[in-house]
Amino acid sequence: MISNLLKNNYLTFVILAGRRLASTENNVNIGDQMKILNDNKQYKKVLELFDAFNEKNIDKCSNWIVIQALKACTQINDVQHGLKIHNLISSRLKHDPYILPSLIHFYIQCGDINRAQLLFETSTKKTLPMYGAMMKGYRKNNLPKKVIDLFNEIKNPDRVIIILLFNACAKLGTNEELNLCGDVTSAKSLFDRSTKKTISMYGAMMKGFIINNLSQEAIDLFNEIKDPNEIIITLFFNACAQLGTEKELILLKSISSKISNSFYSDPYVVTSLIDAFMKCGDVTSAKALFDRSTKKALSMYGAMMTGLTINGQEEEAIDMFNEIHLDELHRENHSEKQKKLLSEMNTDRFEANIIIYLCLLKALTKLDMLEKAQSFVQQIPSYFLTDHRIRSALIHMWVFGSVEAAKRVFEKISEQDHIGWTAMINSYGLNGMGDEAVKLFHQMPKESIDHLTYICVLNGCSHSGLVDVARSIFNDIQTKTEIIYTTMIDCLSRAAAFEEAQKLIEQFERDHAPAVSIYTALLSGARNQKNSKLLQEVVDRMQKLFPNMKDSLLAASILLANVYASSDDIGKATDIKIELHKSGGKKQIGVTVTDIDGKLWKFRAHDRSHAESAEIHKQVDRMSKRIIEHGHKYDASWIVRPIEPDETIETLLCGHSERLAMAAHFIHNRKPKRIQMTMNLRICGDCHEVTKLVALIYQCDIVVRDANRIHHFHLNGQCSCQDYF
């Protein structure tokens, strides 16, 4: 009752504040007030606020305000008010790609499919939300063939569009429709029965295989085609990119050397080949192809930037962004000129710009250089910043160290999709804010939830110890994938519920082959609890089940040695370390990346390659003395190899890359307020304790993103993970 009173008082305040703002020119705040009222189903109040604002500010009406007003009309089926709004808004807003989906949806909900279709067909810039709104309208009016016709116009359909297509073509039985609906077996049967196979039929079948992650079958089909055209070649390259192994790379080089030179004038062919080279790890060939191309389309730049990012060359990806001759829009700051340029920009150019900005944000996200990221974000025209994909990418970028910034971006997305919801849930989860992640998950529309959403919310529960909540969510999941099982087992193992975790493994293996990821999750939990008996059992089982997975077995043996060492069973720990040393097994070298005064620094464990290495190691020694004075004792169980005669426990642990990175910060700034670092491995237990002490002693906030999660080390010497890592 109290909460309802508070809510009602808050809404009253919103309405009164909105009326006051309506008499001003503050259209941003009006839009926000309207959204709050819409969220609380106060649709008539939304329209009252809109009318009051438009009495004096009709020329200043933004797309955000119109969207909220149309949403209210749609919800209460207020046809007359909706028509009035459509007539009131300027010609500029009538063709706004963000307002048009709302207008189309409004007319469809009000039963006027013809008006909706006219709006769609006369639009010169058709966006995915517009296609989605129109496809929903055709589906609602029992016109599935028109849904499929629209789908065939879309170059890069997203998940929502694919689902709309699935619903529409469920009753249809042609080759391509069956393929796209996931019934690849029936599609292949139809294809095989055809006596006269056209090139378009081959293309439809290859596309179906690729959509259903059956790229090898697509490649096999390609080998049957005598004279492939540009579309078939592009599909072949896409199939190779999806597999991305050495075998496909050899095939790529062979086919690309034989195709006609005329194909290389097609930007789609070149873009798909660049993407395939990158996905197969051949950056050199991708760069050579890009450099040879005389006419570089934005899609080619996008493929290069994405490829460089996935191959660990993020700085080069950002440098490439600086080289791109983007549309004049990027360089034009005057808002009126921007509007004119946008009205003239066709859909392909608009989408190409969006893709480039998405590639840039992905590169910046991997580098975790927030100041540099902010400077680039300020260069992106405001119109593009309203795109839901850009905003979802921004949420993901701000995950590291700026959850509030991610939240602000999330709340400004007018039409949320599953990507935005999932990105925000992931942001909360990785930062140890499991309760917030779960709360947002329960607010999310059920139709938007997919397997990735489940993974993110379960991961958030795992990192915050919310085992009961995780159980409830897990039990409600209809289709449980390997990674969903892995995440749930990780949650149980972190909470030391090992018996339940092992039963879940048995349940999984009744219907699936054993998965190394699941056993790795169990291992990590056993390591945290220093359960050497369970660890030994799991390692023995992994050696039988996965004898060829050398890297996973190496990591498992290192964990086992660490636990024996921490349990004072030095003999067994030493034996394992000696065996690993003899076998040539080497633990992956730790690397830490950090931004110091706008420059990216990379440190490897025991790194002495930097010009300032001597001073950095002296600073490490000074830090070591201070933490020892505060009672720290170095934990030898985290050392994974035999100690050499000229080494000590302290010198080995003090050489870890994150300690070198912290020392470099203190050299360049005696009293930094904040240090931010990214690691390629999970932080070791000794470094975790050391970083807590460094944050306390030097009164400096330290944020570390390791391979598993994000740690916020606070000034009081505590970590956000509550030692639950």
Cα angle 690, 695, 701 (rounded to 5 degrees) comes to: 135
Binning pLDDT at 50, 70 and 90, where does residue 21 land?
very low
Q: Which of 21-30, 139-148, 652-661 has the lowest mean pLDDT?
A: 21-30
Whether the Cβ atoms of residue 522 and residue 548 lie closer than 8 Å to each other? no
Question: At 446, is the secondary structure helix, strand, or coil?
Answer: helix
Pick the range with the lowest mean pLDDT from 33-47, 68-82, 555-569, 709-723. 555-569
Question: At which residue do the structure tokens 């085992």 appear?
Answer: 467
Q: How confident is the model at residue 277 (pLDDT cuts 50, 70, 90)?
A: very high
DSSP conformational letter for 719: B
Give the per-residue pLDDT at 184. 62
Instruction: Please compute the mean of the pLDDT values over residues 370-389 and round it to a whole number.
Output: 73
* Residue 668 is assigned to a structural domain of this protein: yes
pLDDT at 65: 87
Kindly indicate the confidence band of residue 20, based on its pLDDT and cuts at 50, 70 and 90.
very low
Is 332 domain-assigned?
A: no
In a domain, 682, yes or no: yes
pLDDT at 49: 87
Give the best-scoring range by mean pLDDT among 193-202, 431-440, 523-532, 547-556. Answer: 431-440
The tokens of 137 are what? 């309208």
Q: Is residue 235 part of a domain?
A: no
pLDDT greater than 80 at residue 57: no
Q: What is the mean pLDDT of the chain?
A: 81
Tokens of 689: 């304790």
Question: 45 phi and psi, to 5 degrees?
Answer: -65, -35
Residue 618 included in any domain: yes
Mean pLDDT in residue range 502-519: 91
CA dihedral 208, 209, 210, 212 (to 10 degrees): 90
Answer with the residue of higher pLDDT: 631 or 4: 631
Asked whether residue 709 is assigned to any structural domain, the reply reads: yes
Specify the pLDDT at position 646.
80
Nearest to 470 by CA among 459, 482, 486: 459
Please report the DSSP string for 20-46 in residue order: HHHTTT-HHHHHHHHHHHHHTT-HHHH
The residue ranking higher by pLDDT, 211 or 296, is 296
Range of the domain at 595: 591-713
454, 446 in Cβ contact below 8 A? no
pLDDT for the residue 596: 87
Q: What is the mean pLDDT of residues 506-511?
A: 92
Of the candidates 693, 699, 703, 702, the one whose C-alpha atom is nearest the C-alpha of residue 670 is 699
Domain count, the chain: 1
> Average pLDDT of 579-605?
79
| pLDDT above 60 for 712 | yes
Report the SS3 class of residue 450. coil
Question: Which pLDDT does position 378 carry in this prediction?
Answer: 74
C-alpha pair distances (Å), 218 with each of 165, 210, 222: 21, 7, 6
Least confident of 105-109, 540-544, 721-725: 721-725
Whole-number pLDDT of residue 156: 72
Q: What is the pLDDT of residue 85?
A: 84
Residue 603 resides in a domain? yes
| Cα–Cα distance measured from residue 501 to residue 521, given in angstroms and rounded to the nearest whole number | 10
The HSE-up count of residue 525 (CA atoms within 13 Å, CB side) is 28
Distance CA 697, CA 674 (A): 13
Given a contact cutoff of 8 angstroms between Cβ atoms, the answer to whether 148 and 164 are in contact is: no
- Please indicate, yes or no, if residue 639 is contained in any of the structural domains: yes
Average pLDDT over residues 5-28: 41
Would you say 181 and 207 are in contact if contact means Cβ atoms under 8 Å apart? Answer: no
User: Which pLDDT does position 328 carry in this prediction?
Assistant: 47
How confident is the model at residue 258, as a pLDDT? 86
Of 23-37, 434-448, 637-651, 711-725, the least confident:
23-37
Task: Please determine, for residue 343, whether its predicted confidence score (pLDDT) is greater than 60.
Answer: no
Distance CA 11, CA 38 (A): 11
Range from 437-446, 451-460, 570-579 carrying the lowest mean pLDDT: 570-579
- Between 328-337, 437-446, 548-557, 640-649, the lowest mean confidence (pLDDT) is in 328-337
pLDDT tens per residue across span 149-200 = 787 777 777 666 766 665 555 444 444 444 544 456 656 766 776 677 778 7
pLDDT in tens, 209-241: 887 778 899 999 999 998 899 989 999 999 999
CB atoms within 10 A of CB 136: 21
C-beta separation of 400 from 680 below 8 A? no
719, β-bridge pairs: 713
For the stretch 139-154, pLDDT in tens is: 888 787 787 778 777 7
| 110 pLDDT more than 50 | yes
Q: Is the pLDDT of residue 521 over 80?
A: yes
Strand intervals (E) in 484-546: none
- Kindly state the percentage of the chain with pLDDT values over 90: 25
pLDDT at 202 over 60: yes
pLDDT at 647 over 90: no
